[in-house]
């Protein structure tokens, strides 16, 4: 094969010895630590016992087998075709899409890496999507192969069938093989363990992840192999701090790593460091605490401040010396959180239980730009103690990320502390665009930067403060109100388990600041300190008048992503006309919400 030794630009690094490919991540470590455990599934996160705990050698061989199966597979006919064209190869070919409808499992994770090895594109989707949304995403992506969890199949069978697809491979968690397909283990059984022969370049797209839709359908974010490596390496630096050597990293996530961007930066770093990954099925605090102790986890993806608080409470209740169910968390070095500020008291308690080496790391980013800002409460101690959790300090961009705050005309605001603008990004860990949506891509990449949709400002020291998503800022009485700031105050109330704050149409205020509150299990709405008046008074003592909720609505649950982010657009849709209805019913006092309950 000729090798180009004259061109100095427009080169294609797609040879095995030089390429950037997510599918090569496991194979590279087989040359140094082949018998080191690479991936462990917590109970519930594997379909068959043989996949519970795998070395680098074993995991890579399984991924190879799955890749060979994909490349040899007779693909589902494209929409409108009665059968495959005679001149089309029998197997899937470069760029074909592989649909995954899966929660966390070892098998699903390896299937994604196998897809990358084969030069194909993984298209994982959130299993909780509404049928019409799932149907839209399938039509957009046009997948040729489908992987599904057994327990999820009944909920998606009609949509998959209507699209002319079938469940090619089933992961047997919560059931058995779906009609028309085979089990994961059967699919790989006769395939070779050698590396597949596939051409991959770092700029190729390896995964399409979907953003959360608000008023429109979700957009498909195109993520390249280079994006994944750059983002993962930037996080590996943060996750391995305090360790003797980077290969001592044991990274754990019970939050999604199949259909969420955490797969790039809170799972892949384990392999780039030569360490180990532990994945759980879903974010259950008790299981997360047990995994820390049993697997000697050194770095944990903790998710939202509320999940971190619940984990701390679980560890607190099971400290060493408190009986047979006690847990030792002293292995934990780093806990990563996002979407808000962790309360100082929670950080202090975690440090007491985990040891002096323990460090909280706040991150701020998104699917389209994942190298992220970093905020270390221990580094900016005075700022953190003075502002958390009322203000969501997100720190500074990590060295791989260029980021400024920009106004609507493209002017930089870093020299104007306290003036909100939009966070914009430049980085090799920025998405390539929105799949088959040129208009949205052009709009996002204006002025030479990627525009996040997040409102931010800087303080006098240049530290960034996340104000809110632009779409979630409440315009009340001529003032802009950060929903995140109000939520942070409500979460300090002892009777509040969860809270979301939205703006609802109001004749007097334009938008009335409205709190939707989920009580603690032992608290009863309307009793003691959990009344509308009491919660509003609690906020008024800590917030400006225009920020204070005009009404409180009690709920049994909030619509959330599995990562814990509240889907506020659903609340706005469900509660549209709330104040008008309350006034009509005579339940309206100075713009109040009536303390009603919703489900």
pTM of this structure: 0.88
> Fold match between 283-470 and 475-598?
no
Please report the pLDDT score of residue 203 as a whole number.
Answer: 97
Q: Is 485 helix (H, G, I), strand (E, B) or coil?
A: helix
Alpha-carbon distance of 281 to 334, in angstroms, equals 21
Please report the pLDDT score of residue 88 as a whole number.
Answer: 41
Q: What is the pLDDT of residues 40-70, one digit of tens each?
A: 999 999 999 999 999 999 999 999 999 999 9
Q: Is 399 helix (H, G, I), strand (E, B) or coil?
A: coil
Closest CA to 357 of 293, 299, 314, 307: 299
Alpha-carbon distance of 270 to 277, in angstroms, equals 6
The two tokens of residue 568 are 């506020």
Residue 460 CA neighbour count, 13 Å, CB half: 1
DSSP sequence for 259-299: SSTHHHHTTHHHHHTT-EEEE-SS--HHHHHHHHHHHT-SE
The two tokens of residue 417 are 């502390």
Q: How many CB atoms lie within 10 A of CB 85?
A: 9
Q: How many CB atoms lie within 10 A of CB 50?
A: 12
The two tokens of residue 557 are 């649950």
Q: Which residues in the chain land under pLDDT 50?
A: 78-89, 588-593
Q: Tell me which CATH code domain 283-470 carries.
A: 3.40.50.12780
Residue 351 near residue 312, CB atoms below 8 Å: no
Q: Is 16 helix (H, G, I), strand (E, B) or coil?
A: coil
Domain layout of the chain by residue ranges: 22-26+56-224, 283-470, 475-598
Q: Is 361 helix (H, G, I), strand (E, B) or coil?
A: strand
Please report the pLDDT score of residue 285 as a whole number.
Answer: 96
Please report the pLDDT score of residue 598 as a whole number.
Answer: 57
Q: What is the pLDDT of residues 458-510, one digit of tens each?
A: 999 999 999 988 888 898 888 889 888 899 899 999 999 999 999 999 988 88
Please report the pLDDT score of residue 86 as a whole number.
Answer: 38
* Residue at token pair 């359908």: 217
Total residues found in the chain within this entry: 599
Residue 589 near residue 579, CB atoms below 8 Å: no
Q: How many CB atoms lie within 10 A of CB 479?
A: 14
Please report the pLDDT score of residue 74 as a whole number.
Answer: 63
Residue 481 near residue 547, CB atoms below 8 Å: yes
Q: What is the 3-state secondary structure (H, E, C) of 565-584?
A: CECHHHHHHHCCCHHHHHHH
Please report the pLDDT score of residue 508 as a whole number.
Answer: 86
Q: Tell me which CATH code domain 475-598 carries.
A: 3.30.300.30
Please report the pLDDT score of residue 209 as a whole number.
Answer: 97
Q: For 122-165, where are the alpha helices, taking DSSP H only?
A: 131-141, 153-162
Architecture of domain 22-26+56-224 in CATH? Answer: 3-Layer(aba) Sandwich (3.40)
Residue 221 near residue 368, CB atoms below 8 Å: yes
Please report the pLDDT score of residue 213 as a whole number.
Answer: 56
């Amino acid at each position: 094969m000729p090798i180009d030794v004259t061109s100095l630009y427009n080169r294609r690094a797609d040879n095995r010895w030089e390429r950037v490919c997510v599918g090569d991540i496991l194979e590279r470590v087989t040359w140094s630590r082949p018998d080191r455990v690479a991936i462990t599934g917590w109970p519930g996160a594997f379909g068959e016992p043989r996949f519970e705990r795998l070395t680098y050698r074993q995991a890579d061989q399984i991924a190879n087998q799955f890749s060979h199966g994909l490349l040899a597979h007779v693909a589902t006919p494209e929409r409108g075709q009665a059968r495959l064209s005679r001149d089309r190869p029998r197997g899937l070919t470069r760029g074909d899409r592989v649909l995954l409808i899966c929660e966390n499992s070892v098998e699903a994770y390896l299937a994604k890496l196998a897809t990358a090895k084969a030069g194909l594109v993984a298209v994982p989707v959130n299993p909780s999507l509404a049928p019409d949304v799932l149907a839209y995403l399938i039509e957009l992506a046009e997948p040729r192969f489908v992987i599904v969890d057994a327990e999820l199949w009944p909920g998606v069978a009609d949509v998959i069938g209507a699209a002319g697809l079938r469940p090619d491979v089933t992961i047997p968690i919560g059931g058995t093989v779906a009609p028309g397909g085979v089990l994961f283990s059967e699919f790989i059984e006769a395939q070779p363990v050698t590396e597949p022969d596939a051409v991959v370049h770092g700029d190729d797209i390896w995964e399409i992840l979907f953003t959360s839709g608000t008023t429109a359908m979700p957009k498909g974010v195109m993520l390249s192999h280079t994006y994944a490596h750059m983002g993962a390496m930037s996080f590996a630096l943060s996750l391995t701090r305090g360790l003797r050597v980077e290969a001592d990293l044991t990274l754990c996530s019970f939050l999604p790593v199949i259909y969420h961007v955490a797969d790039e930066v809170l799972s892949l770093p384990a392999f780039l460091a030569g360490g180990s990954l532990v994945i759980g099925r879903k974010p259950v605090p008790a299981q997360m605490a047990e995994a820390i102790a049993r697997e000697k986890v050194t770095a944990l993806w903790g998710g939202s401040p509320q999940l971190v608080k619940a984990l701390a409470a679980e560890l607190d209740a099971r400290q060493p010396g408190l009986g047979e169910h006690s847990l030792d968390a002293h292995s934990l070095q780093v806990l990563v959180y996002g979407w808000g500020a962790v309360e100082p008291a929670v950080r202090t308690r975690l440090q007491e239980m985990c040891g002096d080496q323990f460090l909280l790391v706040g991150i701020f980013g998104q699917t389209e730009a994942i190298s992220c800002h970093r905020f270390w409460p221990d580094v900016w101690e005075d700022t953190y103690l003075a502002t958390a959790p009322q203000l969501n300090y997100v720190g500074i961009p990590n060295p791989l990320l260029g980021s400024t705050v920009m106004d609507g005309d493209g002017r930089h605001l870093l020299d104007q502390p306290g003036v909100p603008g939009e966070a914009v990004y430049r980085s090799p860990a920025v998405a390539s665009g929105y799949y088959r949506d040129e208009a949205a891509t052009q709009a996002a990449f204006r002025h030479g930067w990627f525009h996040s949709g997040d409102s931010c400002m800087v303080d006098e020291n240049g530290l960034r403060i996340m104000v809110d998503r632009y779409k979630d800022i409440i315009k009340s009485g001529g003032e802009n109100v950060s929903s995140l700031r109000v939520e942070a105050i409500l979460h300090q109330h002892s009777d509040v388990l969860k809270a979301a704050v939205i703006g609802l149409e109001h004749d007097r205020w334009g938008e009335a600041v409205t709190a939707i509150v989920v009580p603690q299990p032992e608290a009863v709405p309307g009793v003691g300190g959990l009344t509308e008046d009491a919660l509003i008074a609690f906020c008024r003592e800590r917030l400006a008048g225009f920020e204070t909720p005009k009404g409180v609505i009690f709920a049994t649950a909030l619509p959330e992503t599995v990562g814990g982010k509240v889907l506020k657009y659903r609340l706005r849709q469900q509660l549209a006309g709330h104040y008008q209805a309350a006034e009509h019913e005579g339940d309206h006092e100075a713009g109040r919400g009536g303390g009603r309950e919703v489900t």
